[in-house]
Amino acid sequence: MNKVFIFEDNTADWRVECDILKDVYEYYPKEVDEYNEVRNCFRRIQNENKKIRDESKRRLKEIINIQKPDLYIMDYALKTLSLNAVTVCKELEINGLTVIFTRHHKDYMKVIDEQVRNMGGLYNINIIEKPTEMHRITNDEKDQILNKINNIMSTLNDYTKMNLPVVVILTAIQEEYIGVKQYLDEIIEDNKYGTHYEIGLFAVDNNRVAKVIIRECGAGNTNAAQETERAIQYYNPNMILFVGIAGSRKIKDFNIGDVICPNKIYSYEAGRAENNSFMARPELVQMSYVFREMAKSERRKEDWKSFIKTPIEYNIKADIGIVASGEQLIEHYNSDVGQILTKYYNDTQAVEMEGFGFAKAAINQGYEKSAMMIGIIRGISDIINSGYDTNGNDNVDNRPHNQKVIASNTAAAFAYWLVYKICEENQLIIK
C-alpha cells in the first residue's frame, strides 16, 4: 500500500482527506496528536527566531524520513499565503510526487506554476481543486478526488517523480561526460530554457540511490562557475559534484589513473603582476566537510574499485590531495605558470581548469543552500612534463594513448561510490 503524507492546516479538512484516503492508502498523520505536531512544525517554519525555524524543519524532515511517503498532499494556503505549499516544498527540500489542494485553482494556477519554476529542481507538483466547504463534500466528490489522486499515483514508477536525493554532476569535456553517464539508467533529456541536461537513475544492486543530472559545461573556471550557478538554480540539488581529469605535478603522489579528491583548491592566477615579476595573492576553496570525510574514509578501502567500468591492468589508488586551478593548460613543469606554482603553491599535487570556479560558485549560494554537499573528484590523465625521464631523455610524452578515458573512468567510479556511501549512511536509498 502506497504511503501518503498530509500537510493540512485545517482540522476539518484533514479529517475529510483522511476519509478519502482510507482503505486505499496508508497515510500520515493518522491520529490527532500526530496531526497537531506536523501542523505546529510547519507553522513555525517562518518564525522570526532562526533556532525555532531550524528545529521545526529538522523535526519535519525527521518525520518524513521515518514515514518515507510516496506522495505528499498539501493544502496550498498553509496558515497564510506567505507560507504556502510551494514554500514548504522548498524549505523541506521535498522533490517527490506532490498534490496541492487549492480552493482557488483558477486564480492561483499561474501563481503556483511560476513559483514552481522559480524553485528549480525535479519537482512534480499537481493541482487538485477542492470544494470551498470540505465538510460538506459528497461521496461523489470524494470519489472524484480519489480518482485524481489514483491517476497521479499511477505515474509513480517514473523515477523522476520519486523522492530520491538529487545529485548534479558537471564535467568539462566529452570523455568525462561519457564516464559519468555510463552509471545511469532510464536516461531522459531535459532542456532548461535552451540549456541541455540529461537526467538518469543511479541504482546499485537494484536499489535506487539518486536522481542524477549531468552536463558537459566546457573547459575553464569561468564556464564552470556559470554552469554551477545555473544548475543549482534549476535543480536545487542535495549534492553537486565536478568530476573529471587532472595533470599530476608529483608522480610519486599521483600517477596515471589515480584519483585525487582535493582537500583544498588554489586559484593560482590570483595575484599582482609587476614589472618582470608576479606577486601571488593565494585564494583557495574547500569541499563540504562531510564529503571530504567520506572520501578520506573510503580512500583507504578497495571497495570503490568495484565500480570501475573498464578493467585497469595496473594498481591505482584514491587519495586526498591539493589541487591548483586556473585558465591555462599547463604542459611543462617549468613553464611560466609552472614556476609560479613551484614558488607560491609548492604543495600542489595536481592541476586542472575548473575546480576553483565550480567550488566558489557552489559555496557562495547563501544560507538556503547551506545543506548542499559540494565535491570535486579528479582522475590523473597525465604527468606534467618536467622535460626529462628517469634516463635523462628530453621531451618525454607521459600520456598513454587512452589516458583521458582511464582517468575519466576512475574519477567517475570514485565519485559514484561516494554518492552511494553518503546516501547509504543517511538511509536515503530506496529498496
Contacts 24+ apart (CB under 8 A), 32-36: 35/6, 35/8, 35/11
Flag the least confident range among 28-32, 226-230, 233-237.
Answer: 233-237
Instruction: Convert 399-421 to b/e letters by CB count within 10 Å (16 or more is b).
Output: eeeebbbbbbbbbbbbbbbbbbb
> What's the average model confidence in pLDDT over 403-412?
94
Residue 212 phi, psi dihedral angles, 5° rounding: -120, 125
Contacts 24+ apart (CB under 8 A), 299-307: 299/261, 303/417, 304/413, 304/414, 304/417, 304/418, 305/413, 307/183, 307/413, 307/414, 307/416, 307/417
> What's the average model confidence in pLDDT over 91-112?
68
Flag the least confident range among 12-16, 65-69, 191-195, 328-332.
Answer: 328-332
> 163-198, pLDDT tens digit by residue?
688 899 999 999 999 999 999 998 988 888 889 999
39 has a pLDDT exceeding 60: yes
> What is the sign of the dihedral through the CA atoms of 411, 417, 420 and 424?
negative
Give the pLDDT of residue 431: 53
All structural domains of the chain: 3-161 (3.40.50.2300), 166-425 (3.40.50.1580)
pLDDT band at 224 (very low <50, low <70, confident <90, very high): very high
Share of the chain above pLDDT 70, in %: 78
Cα 307 to its chain centre, rounded Å, is 20
Q: Is 35 helix (H, G, I), strand (E, B) or coil?
A: helix
Q: What is the mean pLDDT of the chain?
A: 82
Share of the chain above pLDDT 90, in %: 38
Do 249 and 349 meet the contact criterion of CB atoms below 8 Å apart? yes
pLDDT band at 259 (very low <50, low <70, confident <90, very high): very high
